[in-house]
Structure 1
Amino acid sequence: MESVVLRIIRDTKIAREVKQLYNYQCQICNETIITKVGRYAEGAHIKPLGKPHNGDDNSNNLICLCPHHHVMFEKGLFSISDEFNLLGDVAGKLIFKEKHKLNLLNLAYHRLAHGYS
């Protein structure tokens, strides 16, 4: 039996650069996971890749999150305002490096998709 799997090819270099910019620390809780092979964090797309969202795979659509906050963000338990305030079940402000430019349209898309607008 033969099967075909379709999946979005992500540019791991871009995600790695964003994670390195934040030293693998979550932009929400500022924590990092230390593993036997080094620091660990996840690159979270603000506007998801693939259909029906069609988000871009570039640094202005990525944030560095711990696995806990990544799942919460993907499930819409919190979102981010244009001023980088956290909305929903997480309080505070997104930890942000000036060098990291985010596309505000992607933030608006995430808020709308999860009922924050």
Structure 2
Amino acid sequence: MRLADLELEPGAAYEAAELREAFDRRMTGRGIEICYDDDDRRQRYLRLFSTDAGPYEDDVTGGQFTYVGEGQNGDQTLTGGNRYLANAAESPLPIFFFHRGEGESAWEYQGQVDVLACDEVEYGGRTVYQFTLQRRSEKREGIDREEAASDLDAPERVETTRTRIVRNTPLATALKRRYDFACQVCGETRRRGAGEDDGYAEAHHVRPLGRPHDGPDAESNLLVLCPNHHADFDYGTVAVDPESYRIAHAYDAAVDGETLFVRGDHALDARFLDYHNREVADF
């Protein structure tokens, strides 16, 4: 789907089939969905879904409100959609927010939101990630979208304390350069723009950082991946045999059964691959 072609009316209700047609993609059923703009595969966007019947009783009534991340069993982890939503606090991206009332089948589009903070809080004896979201003013063709959703309260401000993990960016950048920005799974190299020589890749921590995984920010725990396979690792749809590096993928036949490329000077620790297969992979 091309984000430039997307037209949604804040305050309007959409059935699942209408959203599938508008976004040209199905709904996964996750609270946080990671998507990509067809105009630029580097451009991510998120879809957030909240329901009155959901497990976390998200308060979505104000211009600024809270939203609990995904993961209903045990302590939540800063992986998958939680990680992308947390990163959006410092690197904003389009985030489309939908809410559904109890007993209703349609989703109300409540506009785009920005992430102001991500906090670890206790909820029912578990540790979860609580995001502070702020509604974004949307204007198109002279129509003020805040006015179109006039039943929403005016924004309020709260003081929050945020804790985040400081990553060793030079370490990851150096590893990407050694791989010439090529994905270790598929070998694909992305570029930062038409006619540009600079490559683009993403560094993935095989054993995730943060609680409860507490993986190290070390080269032995890093992979260089394209955006698609980075998302697959986060969602647990790919696993790698620690000894043979044989790839198992839940649905992508193009890489299932292939071998992860690991340079001789990249001391990838097999223990972290084993941890990913046991604790993150979900197929």
Q: One fold, TM greater than 0.5?
A: yes
Indicate the structure whose relative CO is greater, using CA pairs within 8 Å and at least 6 residues apart: 1
Q: Alpha-carbon deviations, 1:13-62, whole Å to 9, x = none?
A: 11111101100000011111111362100000100001000000010000
Residue equivalent to 1:10? 167
Give the match's secondary structure for 1:24: coil
CA RMSD of aligned residues (A): 1.4
Residue equivalent to 2:272? 106
Residue equivalent to 1:65? 225
Please state if 1:94 is matched with 2:260. Answer: yes
Q: 1:19 aligns with which of 176, 182, 185?
A: 176
* CA distance 1:34–1:115, change in 2 (3 Å): closer
Q: Alpha-carbon deviations, 1:36-92, whole Å to 9, x = none?
A: 362100000100001000000010000000000000011110111011110133411
Paired with 2:234 and 2:241, the residues of 1 have a C-alpha distance of 15
* TM-score, normalization by structure 2: 0.40
Paired with 2:282 and 2:272, the residues of 1 have a C-alpha distance of 14
Kindly indicate which of the two structures has a greater share of residues assigned to helix: 1
Paired with 2:168 and 2:204, the residues of 1 have a C-alpha distance of 12
Give the match's secondary structure for 1:53: coil
- Letter of the 1:28 partner, please give it: V
Give the match's secondary structure for 2:170: helix
Paired with 1:35 and 1:75, the residues of 2 have a C-alpha distance of 25
Aligned residue pairs, count: 116
Identity rate, percent = 34
Paired with 2:170 and 2:200, the residues of 1 have a C-alpha distance of 15
Paired with 1:30 and 1:102, the residues of 2 have a C-alpha distance of 17
* TM-score, normalization by structure 1: 0.93
Kindly indicate which of the two structures has a greater share of residues assigned to strand: 2
- Letter of the 1:13 partner, please give it: P
Rg bigger for which structure? 2
Give the match's secondary structure for 1:108: helix
| Structure 1: runs of 5 or more not aligned | none
Give the match's secondary structure for 1:73: helix
| Structure 2: runs of 5 or more not aligned | 1-157
Q: Map 1:8-87 onto structure 2 (within 5 A).
A: 8-36=165-193, 38-82=198-242, 83-87=244-248
Give the match's secondary structure for 1:14: helix
